Every structure is written in C-alpha cells, then in structure tokens.
Amino acid sequence: MNLKSKITEMHYSEEKNFLYAFLWLPSIFYKLVTNIRNFLYDKNIFKAVTVDANVISVGNLTTGGVGKTPLVAEIAKYYLSKNELTAVISRGYGGKLSSKSVNVISDGNEIFYNAEMAGDEPYWYAENISGLIVITCSSRVKAAKYAIEKFGAKNIILDDAFQHRKINRNLNIVVIDSEKRFGNERVLPQGPLRECLTGLKRADKIVVMSKGSKNYDKTTIFANEMNALICDAAPAEVYNIKTGVRLADNLTITAMCAIGQPEQFFNFLTPRFNVINKVIFDDHHIYTKSDIKNIDTPIVTTEKDAVKLKNLGFDNIYALKLRLNINCKDLLND
C-alpha cells in the first residue's frame, strides 16, 4: 500500500496513528486558508462573477468519488431532453490539455480530443451524451462565457465546483456518500474534507448518494433535511466496451479501476461474479497495454475507466453501467 492509499484509509478510520499526528499541522494551515477564503467571499470582498445562463454546480465536501459524474450526466440529459443547449464545464483533471486554456472537448456533434488529452470524465460526458457541449478549463468563468458566446448555451453545469466560488450559480448541489459521509470529519490532509462542514450552509440542495445500502439517516448526515434528496445508485448491465455484448453473471473476473474510492465498485460486482483479483490504480491513471496484457479473465471496470481502455486493443474488457434513480425536476426546482 502506497502513502496515498494509507492516507485515504486513515481518512475513513478512527485510528489515530503517527501519520495522523504528523498531518495535524498542515491540516490546521489548510483549514485556516480555506476559512479565510470563504470569509472573503461571504463578505463580498472577493467578488463572484454572474454569467448570462442558468448555472448549476455539482460538487462535494470530500475528496474521492461520491457519484458526481453520473449525477451531472442525469442533469445534462434532463436539460437536453427539453431541447435546451447545455454545456458541462470541468477542470479536466488528469488530462494533458492545458487547464489554463478553454478546451472544447465536444461541440455536441463532434469529439475533438481523446480521453488521454481531455481527461476521463470530460471525455466520458462527450462520448455518452449526444448533443452535450463539453469544455475543460481551470477558470469556470472563462469557460462559461465561452460556452454562452460561442455556442449559445442556456444551461451551464459545473462539474466538481462547490469550492470554486468565483462564478455565481443558480443552484448549488452537494453530493454526499451515504456510507462514507465525511470520514473522520477533518480537513485535508488529516481528513478527507476540502473545507469545514460549515460549508454545507452554501448548498441549495444535498443529494445523498445511496449505493445499494439503506444504512443512512438524513438527520444524521446534515442539518437541513428539507433540501435533501436520496439518489439510489444501482448496478445495471456489464457490457463489452468494444462490442456492447453483455457479460453473463457468475463468471470469474478481474475487477480493475482507477477511481478515488474503489470499494463500492467492488461491492457492486461481488454478488454477481467470482472476483478473483482486484486491481487498483491511482485516480485518473492513464492505462497502458502492460497494465492489461497478463490478465486472462474478463476484466470489469468502471465506465470512467473504460474510455481510457477502449483503444488499447483488448477484447476482454467490460464496463459496469450504473443506473441512478432521482427526480431531476424536483432536484432542479424546474
């Protein structure tokens, strides 16, 4: 287990070891910086920019995956079903394109970059959602203005932008994992929080992502349950990423992924398959043929990983599709 994995494990554990103590001081510093920054925005000393579109932010308080990507996709598909031009804006983390530039990954008709250049999540949006404009840039303001002026986007969906306060939004959505919640409730690097829990006050809606478990109680997860919705995430079909053919249940497989919190992915697979090996890479890992070539069983991965594996030439790679159960009309106050 590498240092990053040990820190992540510590974030969701009650154990207080030497590493936990060592990270106390940088955690205090991080907390101070984020609190000052939030104070300056709260007092309007730092100014946020308003753009001429309906802006929806989907984010979270913790590091790692909690289900933002499929939720962003559901929101995008909802607006597109109403024939409203919609753009998703992402920082493009893990991609090779410069984050300082406005990069059009897709104009809704054509995809201009592969997953390695664009980043796995932006490319997945572009490949899986027809008609969606996908842009990457570290400046959400610059990217949003470009989407509006160049394409006439009516709706802007900010992927993972709860802490990016430089752009005003019409709806601020925070996603919470029903099981992991806020871990040890410490800020980075001692805990998984990107800011203090008081930041939840900025949320207009909270989505509790339930991944097959009913082990949650809204009143224990957040204070303002009136603004909360439960979103059930359930595994659907497992399909070959080249042919689309479904993988039969009860087969022996290798489970492989490069996501922030892989445990739930494995939990989705174990009731349906004989998982003889679990291969974990760091989040946003760029796959090479050497990662795959010695695996003889069918490989099942996430859809986010699949976009980076599709062009490696292997026939034994399958992706698990997730199905979300959420009422977007209620979520978006539409």
Q: If DSSP codes are grouped into helix, strand and coil, which group holds residue 300?
A: strand
Same domain, yes or no: 107 and 71: yes
27, 233, 271 from 77: Cα distances, Å? 39, 17, 30
Q: Which two tokens stand for residue 46?
A: 């730092």
* 125 falls within a domain: yes
Same domain, yes or no: 210 and 249: no
Please tell me the predicted confidence (pLDDT) of residue 283. 84
Torsion-angle region of residue 131: left (phi > 0), alpha (psi -120 to 50) or beta?
left
* 330 falls within a domain: no
Record the pTM. Answer: 0.93
Same domain, yes or no: 217 and 125: yes
Last residue of a domain, one of 173, 207, 232: 232
Q: If DSSP codes are grouped into helix, strand and coil, which group holds residue 49?
A: strand
Please tell me the predicted confidence (pLDDT) of residue 220. 47
Domain count for the chain: 2
* 75 falls within a domain: yes
Please tell me the predicted confidence (pLDDT) of residue 214. 54
Same domain, yes or no: 183 and 263: no
* pLDDT by residue, tens only, the chain of 334 residues: 577 778 888 998 888 888 999 999 999 999 999 999 999 999 999 999 999 999 999 999 998 778 899 999 999 999 999 999 999 999 999 899 999 999 999 999 999 999 999 999 999 999 999 999 999 999 999 999 999 999 999 999 999 999 999 999 999 999 998 888 899 999 999 999 999 999 999 999 999 998 665 555 544 455 455 578 889 888 999 999 999 999 999 999 999 999 888 888 999 999 999 999 999 998 888 899 999 988 999 999 999 999 999 989 999 999 999 999 999 999 999 8
* 279 falls within a domain: yes
Please tell me the predicted confidence (pLDDT) of residue 14. 83
Last residue of a domain, one of 169, 204, 232: 232
58, 241, 307 from 312: Cα distances, Å? 32, 11, 10
Same domain, yes or no: 168 and 310: no
* 123 falls within a domain: yes
Q: If DSSP codes are grouped into helix, strand and coil, which group holds residue 48?
A: coil
Please tell me the predicted confidence (pLDDT) of residue 223. 43
Please tell me the predicted confidence (pLDDT) of residue 216. 53
* 219 falls within a domain: yes
Last residue of a domain, one of 206, 232, 258: 232
Dmax (CA) for the chain in angstroms is 59
* 22 falls within a domain: no
CATH code at 216?
A: 3.40.50
* 49 falls within a domain: no
Give the distance, in angstroms, between the CA of residue 326 and the centroid of all CA atoms in the same chain: 17
Structural domain containing residue 315: 235-324
